[in-house]
Copies of this chain bind each other. A is one copy, B any other.
Amino acid sequence: MAAENGAERPKKQLIVNAFVMMCSGHQSPGLWRHPDDESWKFGDVDHWVNLAKLLEEAKFHGIFIADVLGGYDVYKKSLDPAAISGAQWPVNEPLSVVPTMAAATKSIGFGVTVSTTYEEAYHLARRLATVDHLTKGRLGWNIVTSYLDSAARNMGRKEQVAHDDRYLQAHEYLQTIYKLLLSSWRDDAVTLNRTSGIYTDPSLLRPINHQGRFFSVPGPAITAPSPQRLPLLLQAGTSRAGKLFAAEHAEAVFVSAHSPQVVAKNIAEIRTLASEKFGRDGKDIKVLALVVPVLGKTEEEARAKLKDYRQYASTEGALALWGGWTGIDLEPYGDEEELRHVESNAVRSTVDAYARFSKGGEKWTKHTVAEHVRLGGNGPLLVGTAEQVAEELEVWVEEADVDGFNFGYVLFPQSFKDIAELLVPELRKRGLFWDDYVVPRGTYRENFYGKEGQKYPQETHVASKYHWKAGVPANEHQIPE
């Protein structure tokens, strides 16, 4: 596709996902009260089927479904603010709806958040492989380690596993999943040979005998190789442990911050780690930034929309979400109290960090925190015409070296309709977005990397060495330790 705005070098082709969650409002608590919002219909399967069709028509790469396993009960030490405002409460289980969206579409992918902390690897491996089969290879897995005590307590733990231990455990969990899904069956183990009567060739199937610090799993996987064998791996950690994890395991990384400058360093660091520690090309980790566009045919129309939306946004919901994300309860503080000067170290350092990754606002108060979060959550609101928003997206690409975007919504599905109708054509005009899937009816990974045949992880990805490929004798493929 030719760049039409006079750029001298070919532009990066953007990867575009929708960012949703199986709850109401997602990053915009309170917006369910808007007369045009339908996000509260998330329990209805048609809601999801219609979204998938809309976004496939617009040629989105994927639909990315966030998830949490517990409620946001840090703010006011209560679940009430989240319940009242509908801030990510209630929440349904996201993997359940993916095959139905896939059955109604052909090419769009589905990234689903699943935690490594509360489910046996063998159990999850089967669920992932099943959905990869049912979607014909269009599944992605956003690997999270879970951060809510409210979830941990309901899973029979007193509290969550310590942060760094969660990553150690997640690392071993991934190894176990790799062994189950990539090492225990050869690509061509299912022979369905009616003459010899061999369904699965037992010489192409083997145990994994995984014995680690956290898990003991003899295997083999109970599922046959699925089209991608392993879902596309997505991850969003930003701590040191999280970055190392991403550098080794992630094929896509999500970032959320209010300006590109504050994530540029993290992105560069992950890519450097990938290259220096794990022998990967840093560019093979595709980085997607959360942005929340509010689009109008004119800037005036966009501003009017924003003003309209603001009436419905919930401050209590925002403080509930922020409390869950940070573990900090802002209830005790005054609306206008400068939080970077309060007595509590924890509050000061958390707000300091938040201030660094957020744009604007010299003063950080309960009020300004809520203002930042209540529309678009941790993503920046990009308000304006398609041209203006596209301009801002190009700044993100330029300054933070991102490869694409997760588009969050304010109104469901209107925000996505606006993106499809206004923004996508503008991105195409600028040579930033494809006209069609590179591999129609292909796998998520093929369309994500824009490369036909890239069904499995790249050769340089750690999972690749676990992959027992068609034709390779068992003694020529050792399962990595």
| Residues of chain A whose beta carbon lies under 8 Å from any beta carbon of chain B | 22, 24, 30, 32-33, 35, 40, 43-46, 49, 69-71, 78-80, 83-86, 89-93, 95-97, 99-100, 102-104, 118-120, 122-123, 126-127, 129-131, 133-135, 153-156, 190, 192, 194, 197-202, 205, 215-224, 226, 314
Contact = CB atoms under 8 A, between A and B. Distances in A.
Contacts of A221: 90
Given A43-B226, A95-B96, A103-B103, 9 more contacts: A24-B199, A33-B194, A40-B192, A43-B133, A84-B199, A85-B199, A89-B222, A91-B126, A93-B127
B218 A154 contact: yes
A90 B154 contact: no
A78 B206 CA distance: 11
Nearest to A25: B199
Contact of A22 (B44, B49, B130, B154): B130
Say how many copies of this protein the assembly contains: 2
A79 B122 CA distance: 17
B217 A154 contact: yes
Contact of A129 (B45, B92, B192, B200): B92
A448 to B, nearest CB: 21
A131 B135 CA distance: 17
A33 B192 CA distance: 8
B153 A97 contact: no
Contacts of A199: 24, 32, 40, 83-86, 89
Contacts of A224: 43, 90
Contacts of A118: 120, 123
Contact of A202 (B79, B153, B202, B314): B79
Across the A-B interface, give the 10 residue pairs with the lowest CB-CB distance, nearest first. Answer: A86-B199, A43-B133, A92-B130, A80-B202, A93-B130, A83-B200, A122-B154, A90-B224, A100-B100, A33-B194
Contacts of A154: 120, 122, 217-219
Contacts of A133: 43-44, 92
A134 B45 contact: yes
A192 B35 CA distance: 12
Given A90-B224, A134-B43, A153 B49 contact: no
Given A33-B197, A69-B222, A223-B91, A99 B97 contact: yes
Contacts of A126: 69, 91-93
22 contacts: A22-B130, A40-B199, A43-B133, A43-B134, A43-B226, A69-B126, A70-B222, A78-B202, A84-B201, A89-B222, A90-B223, A90-B224, A91-B223, A92-B130, A92-B134, A93-B130, A97-B99, A99-B99, A99-B100, A153-B217, A154-B219, A156-B215
